[in-house]
Amino acid sequence: MMKILIIDDEVYIRDGLKQILDMEGFTTKVAGDGKEALRMIEEEKPDLVITDIIMPEKDGVEVICKAKEKYPDLKIIAISGGGRISAHDYLKIAKQLGANSILTKPFSSSDLISEINKVCA
């Protein structure tokens, strides 16, 4: 079974994504920030990481860089709703740094499942 780590500082998004993916049969773990996520990537060895970009501690860009440096084959989907600049700009940077796919919040559960299937095919 595919192991997925979900990283988002917003509890309702993190828990919502976990619920959707659990119902689809994935094994999921969650982290509330990039610092916790990097520790969990090391310990859990997920097959896929879904990371928000704007977070406290370490942001999603730092997670992508450090994770890809250590695990170049790790699949990553970056998600963002934006911040001081548009979500598209943040996600474009994430893609350039190694994210396999990007999704702009809000997105549907079917869009998420489709991206997971595409990235992990």
For the chain, the structural domain boundaries read 3-120
DSSP label at residue 56: S
Mean pLDDT of 85-93: 76
Q: What is the band of 57 on the pLDDT scale with cuts at 50, 70, 90?
A: confident
Among residues 58, 52, 97, 100, which one has the least CA distance to residue 75? 100
Q: Is the pLDDT of residue 85 over 70?
A: no
What is the structure's pLDDT at 89? Answer: 82
pTM above 0.85, yes or no: yes
Give the least confident one: 1-5, 82-86, 106-110: 82-86
Q: Is the pLDDT of residue 72 over 60?
A: yes
Helices of type H across 24-108: 34-44, 60-70, 87-96
Q: What is the band of 81 on the pLDDT scale with cuts at 50, 70, 90?
A: confident
Per-residue tokens: 111: 């869009």
Confirm or reject CATH 3.90.70.10 for domain 3-120, answering yes or no: no
Per-residue tokens: 15: 């828990």
Neighbour count for residue 112 (Cβ, 10 Å): 18
